[in-house]
Structure 1
Amino acid sequence: MKISHYLYNTFIIETDDKKIAIDPGGLMFYFFRFTTIIPKSEWKSITHIFVTHGDPDHYWHADRLEESSGAPIICNKTMIKNVDGKNLMLGPRDKGLAFTTEVAKIHTLTVDETIEVDGMSITGIKTTHGSLTFRLGPFSKTLTPGPEERIGWGAIGFRIQIDGKTIVNLGDTLLHADEWSSINSPDVLMIPIGGKTVHNTMDVKEALQAVQVMKPKLVIPCHYNCPAFFSKKYNPADEHEFKKEVEKLGINCAILYKGDSINY
């Protein structure tokens, strides 16, 4: 199995017969660039697309990737509405809660629900997106997830059992130690660590608590030091300190920068 990390929570997982894309978002608001995080050279070979929530930077290109590859999208049921027999996804490039984007192939699930897709067993994991604060000079605005808010819409994590291995991806989330206690020793845990300055996800300390609860074999930190909102290092975190603390627990930790891969 080959795991490649790009930015934010964007990953590609490759096995002998599958190539999974997680959160195929866009590089948002940085010098007004809206480029794809997953290189277009990879698009046609993708076999499955996972979306953890409805923030545009996490799935800006999901429908385009589906159209290019023919791969199904796997997401929370709340990301889809059936209107006149059509499956409409929350529009990646629309404002607000607009369900406008038709998708041809879709598999949905809820928290604690397990579905079987093409030989994979996929279980929804409880996640909660934290509040997000935008700052520009003396001005700031805080967005808090809620029933009428776009931010964090449809948040869900995934436990993916594939080729005898268990992969856990949590997306953007705060700590849910009690709910995650049933996740026992996954092979790989992809976990956000950049929530210290802006608490939209766990910070390093909270992520370490999650690692202690789940006891994975390999941890890959993500969603930290990312370009966003005119900053080259939004959601700052010390990944080397995190790695050191994880390894004190007797658990392997791999730091993957943009485009880096690991064979597992």
Structure 2
Amino acid sequence: MVRVRFLGHAAFEIAGSKKILIDPFLTGNPKAAAKPEELDADLILVTHAHGDHIGDAVAIAQRTGAKIVAIYDIANYLVENNEGITTIGMNYGPTEVDGVKIVQVPAWHSSSDGKYSIGNPCGYIVEMDGVKIYHAGDTFVFSDMALFNELYGPIDVALLPIGGHFTMGPKEAAKAVELLKPRKVVPMHYGTFPPIEKDPEEFKRLVGEKAEVVILNPGDVLEL
């Protein structure tokens, strides 16, 4: 069994034979379901360099010894500016880390430390214990999402942003579901701050019968 715990915003904990954190933005996150010191991890996946996604990745890695997986430029940036961490830099494509299959896929967004651009944004398709999970990162919908299902599907659950303003809104995310064809979909990256206030029930209505929409509150767990 693989357990997917929503930690708020775009942060998730995926627990199976390994424990994986994705975009662990907890400090400063008004919807955070855990504190950084409460979490353990083997791997930390970072989708891009914005502070609400890198979040507490370095602090957790320094404390736990978790490896940080990120696009090559971000991985280098992190290891050069922080002591006591191990990073795995990659680029769009597949790899395997400690028995976990990871595909880094494109995302349409930006990536910076707030001043300078760092690397490209990405999403991840993670396969662990026979379960495939797609975390889109911050992105707009794009037609190549159909390739993710064709090459790496079927996707058991897709974690998709619906907040608009910085990412897809409900309409665009529903189109992404049509392209990805996941069995289940969990909306994320909404309701954390005023610009991304959206109703997940609108997203659920737009998806209709294309997939099972599972709306998680911060702290809720989806078992797969």
Contact 1:10 1:25 in 2 (8 A): yes
Judging changes above 3 Å, is the alpha-carbon distance between structure 1 residues 29 and 160 closer, same or farther for their aligned structure 2 residues? closer
Contact 2:141 2:172 in 1 (8 A): yes
Q: TM-score, normalised by structure 1?
A: 0.75
Judging changes above 3 Å, is the alpha-carbon distance between structure 1 residues 174 and 160 closer, same or farther for their aligned structure 2 residues? same
1:52 aligns with 47
1:133 aligns with none
Counterpart selection for 1:89 from 55, 64, 78: 78
| 2:176 is equivalent to residue 210 of structure 1 | yes
Give the ranges of 4+ consecutive aligned residues of structure 1 lying more than 3 Å apart after TM superposition.
26-30, 35-38, 148-154
Contact 1:72 1:107 in 2 (8 A): yes
- Give identity over the alignment, percent: 28
2:139 aligns with 173
Long gaps (5+) in structure 1: 82-87, 91-98, 131-144, 228-232
1:40 aligns with 36
Q: Give, in angstroms, the shift of residue 213 of structure 1.
A: 0.4
Contact 1:26 1:58 in 2 (8 A): no
Counterpart selection for 2:215 from 255, 259, 262: 255
Q: Which one has the bigger helix percentage? A: 2
Per-residue Cα deviation, 1:135-190 (whole angstroms, up to 9, x for no partner): xxxxxxxxxx68x954685311001111111110011111122x211111301100
| 2:91 is equivalent to residue 115 of structure 1 | no
Q: TM-score, normalised by structure 2?
A: 0.88
Which runs of structure 2 are paired with 1:70-109 in the superposition (5 Å)?
70-81=65-76, 88-89=77-78, 100-102=81-83, 104-109=85-90
Number of matched pairs: 218
Long gaps (5+) in structure 2: none
1:10 aligns with 11
| 2:211 is equivalent to residue 237 of structure 1 | no
Judging changes above 3 Å, is the alpha-carbon distance between structure 1 residues 103 and 156 closer, same or farther for their aligned structure 2 residues? farther
The separation in 2 between residues aligned to 1:117 and 1:60, in whole angstroms, is 22
| 2:23 is equivalent to residue 23 of structure 1 | yes
Compare CA radii of gyration and give the structure with the larger one: 1
Contact 2:8 2:32 in 1 (8 A): no
Q: Give, in angstroms, the shift of residue 55 of structure 1.
A: 0.6
Judging changes above 3 Å, is the alpha-carbon distance between structure 1 residues 151 and 218 closer, same or farther for their aligned structure 2 residues? farther
The separation in 1 between residues aligned to 2:34 and 2:45, in whole angstroms, is 13
Query: Secondary structure of the equivalent of 1:256?
Result: coil
| 2:130 is equivalent to residue 164 of structure 1 | yes
1:94 aligns with none
Contact 1:194 1:223 in 2 (8 A): yes
Counterpart selection for 1:226 from 192, 197, 200: 192
Q: What residue identity is the alignment partner of 2:145?
A: W
Aligned-CA RMSD value: 2.4
Query: Secondary structure of the equivalent of 1:24?
Result: coil
